[in-house]
Chains A and B, each alone.
Chain A
Amino acid sequence: MKKISLITICIATVAALVSCNKVRRSPGRAYMPDMTYSRAYETYASTEALQDQKVHYNAMPVTGTMAQGDMTWVYPYKNDSIGYIQSASVTNPLKADSIKIDMKEAERLYLIYCGICHGDKLDGNGPLWKDGNGPFPSKPKDFIGDDLMRKMPEGTMFHSVTYGKNNMGSYASQLSTVQRWMVIDYIKSKQGGVQAAKDTATTTVPKP
């Protein structure tokens, strides 16, 4: 009788051990917490405690400063229908300063940030559209086949990338000013140097 109960206990223990959930939901403990957890503010750490100490930190760049490696050129127009028309007159400031654009880097940026919708071949058929089988609800613009896009002035493209257009969001937080111009130059070079007609903005007439 004793033996049977012993065996039962053994089996029960093994069963209890194996039925434990294998998913690890807790980070576990550390040897020396003071050397593991930073006392300084780490990236993405909550800054709410600073508020109590009357330090007002809002993660926004200080007005009048610029990011390292970015350009002093500032896009002059606002995000409205007037700005959209005016954008047609803007030209690539990198070319005006005759800065050589690293096309390989521009291609890398295009493939990461634009190709996902507009396609590796710039045909508006990226993995998110996939001939209408992808998750995205509206067809991305075809840079190569669509005459409208071929003739679109680079300034208008810059306006759309900066502020977003229709279902496309703003990419100003992911691409710096220089990078946006690099990507636009890449698209224009792939389109085969079609000269931008100044009056193409009239094809999509903004409402009065």
Chain B
Amino acid sequence: MIPCKPIGQRLTTLFLSVFVFSFINIVSAQDGKTIFNNKCASCHTMGKDAIGPNLQGVVSRWESMDMLRMWIKDFNKAIAAGSPRAKEVVTFSPTSMQMFDGNITEDELTAVIDYADKWQPPVVQTPNGEPQKGNDNAVIFGVISLVLAIIALILMQVNSNLKKLSDDAEGISRPDPVPFYKNKVYIAMIAILFFIVGGYYVTKGAIGLGRQKGYQPVQPIYYSHKVHAGINQINCLFCHGSAWESKTAGIPSVNVCMNCHKGINEYIKGPKLYTEDGEEVNGTAEIAKLYKAAGFDPKNPAAWDPSMAKPIEWIKIHNLPDHVYFNHSQHIKAGKVQCQTCHGEITEMDEVKQASELSMGWCVNCHRNTKVNFNYTDSTGNRFYSIYEKFHNDIKTGKMDSVTVKDIGGLECQKCHY
């Protein structure tokens, strides 16, 4: 016997179930992305093949939804069931897929398949960043002073002409006026001015010989420190790790680049890039240059042989003369100096330029002013400083309030020249 429900009760149940199901649908549509990011994104990337294949439109590639679900839960079962797609896709990568049986609910599975199947690439909106213009104030001031100088000259000429006219009208006869280029006062003034200005530039040029402040060479690959260290917050030591433990800061070898760029093969998410000369740079093409050096084919990552990589010949920017010794680890590990203290705001530089003078005066000034962390008794301090007994006593008795690099021999010639 079939129990017969009143029609009103049936309708209510129907409405309720429709309501509940639609609600569940909304939830799962939203959750698809979260579930994908948590469970699948380690191997699958939407829009392109990664460790796992691209999942966009995945349902159409499988003969049945059941088989796809069976594959996700346990791919061995799907192969055993004789699915042709399973046999095909199992050869996609040397890494086999994780089995999600018991790790994912049926609803989550539906949601995540739905999300991946219907995924569409987002419309990329790159902000229109303009290349930064240099400071034009100097030009404006120069033009203004030039104009003023010309006006002054004209006024002086007008003045002497008027004087001559009034003298003629009053009948006073004076000797013929000396033209301004024969006037000794003018010549003397111009000579002194020339001597001062010329002397300034000659001295400046002579001091600048062998110094490279502002040096900004064109590197073999447009590598933006702003994108890597600034936007993506990669620690300086990730690539320049030997700065912590050796004299040289170290230029990363190709394998360090490839640690990330094996996966990151295009530049789409960051701001537009420009060279210092204002030309736009295609980031993806620059990554392709790295692949060329590494001998890496992004279409066939499994075939990559890292030992065949060729070094990229980056151009060294910060050069000290051979007669100066400089040690990075001494400064950043023992001295706890930030990289930016000497190298400037690297995180803002697309193309790196030398921010500091790197002259002896610049070194010595810093050694005079920088205080040493003398407090070796706590864990932050350097135990080496315990040998400076006199300074510790002086600090205790209040004779000194701090110790600078100069006090512990930072101005000795032999520290840097030997």
- What residues of chain A have their CB less than 8 Å away from a CB belonging to chain B? 7, 10-11, 14, 18, 21-31, 35-39, 43-44, 81, 104, 111-113, 116, 127-128, 131-142, 148, 164, 166-171, 173-174, 203-207
Contact = CB atoms under 8 A, between A and B. Distances in A.
Given A112-B237, A166-B43, A170-B259, 5 more contacts: A7-B150, A18-B138, A111-B235, A135-B270, A167-B262
Interface string B207-236: 011111011111000000000000011110
A18 B139 contact: yes
A135 to B, nearest CB: 5
B37 A131 contact: yes
A73 B209 CA distance: 52
Contact of B277 (A18, A21, A36, A138): A21
Interface string B307-326: 00000000010010111000
Contacts of B142: 14, 18
Contact of B322 (A7, A35, A116, A148): A35
B56 to A, nearest CB: 14
Identify whether the interface residues of A are mostly helix, strand, loop, or mixed. Answer: loop
A140 B37 contact: no
B48 interface: yes
A137 B270 CA distance: 14
Interface of B: 37-38, 41-45, 48, 50-51, 76, 90, 94-96, 98-99, 134, 138-139, 142-143, 146, 150, 208-212, 214-218, 232-235, 237-238, 241, 247-248, 251, 253, 255-256, 258-260, 262-265, 267, 269-270, 276-277, 316, 319, 321-323, 353, 379
A167 B263 contact: yes
B287 to A, nearest CB: 10
A38 B326 CA distance: 14
B349 to A, nearest CB: 12
Contacts of A170: 255, 259
Contact of A24 (B43, B44, B215): B215
B216 A24 contact: yes
Contacts of A168: 259
A166 B138 CA distance: 54
Contacts of A37: 322
Identify whether the interface residues of B are mostly helix, strand, loop, or mixed. Answer: loop
A140 B42 contact: yes
B238 A31 contact: no
5 contacts: A24-B216, A44-B316, A136-B263, A169-B258, A203-B99
Contacts of B95: 166, 204
A134 B37 CA distance: 13
Given A23-B277, A27-B319, A133-B269, A138 B263 contact: yes
Contacts of B322: 35-39
A132 B218 CA distance: 33
A36 B263 contact: no
A188 to B, nearest CB: 20
Contact of A173 (B44, B211, B253): B253
A27 B48 CA distance: 43
B43 A135 contact: no
Given A207-B94, A207-B96, A166 B259 contact: no
A171 B215 CA distance: 33
Contact of B146 (A10, A22, A128): A10
Given A10-B146, A44-B251, A167-B50, A116 B234 contact: yes
A119 to B, nearest CB: 11
A28 B215 contact: yes
B209 A29 contact: yes
A206 B263 CA distance: 22
Nearest to A112: B235
B323 to A, nearest CB: 5
Given A23-B276, A24-B215, A136 B260 contact: yes
B409 to A, nearest CB: 24
A166 B42 contact: yes
Given A28-B212, A30-B210, A204 B98 contact: yes
A128 B210 contact: no
B255 A173 contact: yes
Closest 7 CB pairs of A and B: A169-B259, A139-B41, A137-B45, A30-B210, A167-B263, A127-B233, A38-B322
